[in-house]
Amino acid sequence: MAALFADTFYFIALLDSSDARHPQAVAWARQKGVSFVTTEYVLVELGDAFHAPGQREEFAVFNDAVRADAKFRVLPASPGAVCGRAEPVSATPGQALATYRLHQLRGDEGTPSAGGVDGRRAFRAGGVHGFVAVTCSRRRCHGEGGCVLDGGVSFSSSRSGMARFQRQRIEDQEFIPKKFVGAELRETSGKTRILEAGCGWSESFSRGTAQVGKGVAIRLAARNA
């Protein structure tokens, strides 16, 4: 069975009925004989897009639905694939502890977003990196024995040893066509893996509720359950 990699692109298109790609996203979901692969990084980025009050609950519902659907395989975030500053970016009392780790993940250092729709700060200033490597015989490989997929969180920073992968992102358009959600993968059992990299932070994505950015509630399924 062919597996489609569902990037943030796909989920946003699916949930925004006025998006130009919404109909295609629906059509793809109805395809027979395909399954979807996504990552926790992608879901975090989706949660960030749905950070506004009222949208957070919608995201939580959708997040649960994706994780529960047999048509989806959610690859867990890789412990150690995330590194960043130690201090939380939010000074809001009471939030710091709960948001500590995912604020690290957000990696916000205050760089203004260029053209952000809601004035949010840019994602990319931090030293946080999420990458997923999936072996794939049908596409060009990017070293380490696998094609590098967009983890969906952040790709910038020259601090990390992962920086080289940034230059090889899927946005080279060979892996993820412009037209739609993501690359078609031939998922070979046992060869899909998370690329271990980065530094520090080995407790990412533990069970419970955490927050992203301005307080996006994201229920993280218990990957270690």
Partner 1 sequence: MGFDALLAFQRMSNASNHVSKVKNGVVPIPPGLKLAEGADVALVPLVPLPGDPAFLKVALRLAKPRGWPKDFALNHGHYTKGQRKK
134 binds partner 1 (CB under 8 A): no
Closest approach, Cβ 126 to partner 1, in A, equals 12
The SS3 call for residue 80 is coil
Q: How far apart are CA 147 and CA 130, in angstroms?
A: 14
Q: Which of 87, 171, 174, 196 binds partner 1 (CB under 8 A)?
A: 171
Q: Does 204 bind partner 1 (CB under 8 A)?
A: no
> Bridge partners of 131?
150
Residue in this structure with the two tokens 């892996």, named with its chain if needed: 175
Instruction: Supply the minimum distance, in Å, between the C-beta of residue 120 and partner 1.
Output: 7
Query: Helix crossing, 8-15 with 40-49: angle to 10°?
Result: 40
Yes or no: say if 20 and 5 are a contact pair by the CB < 8 Å rule: no
Q: Is 179 in the site for partner 1 (CB under 8 A)?
A: yes
Smallest distance from the beta carbon of 21 to partner 1, in angstroms?
5
Q: Tokens in use for 133?
A: 């490597």
Interface residues with partner 1 (CB under 8 A) are: 8-10, 12-27, 29-30, 48-49, 55, 58, 61-62, 65-66, 68-69, 71-72, 113-117, 120, 122-124, 171, 177-180
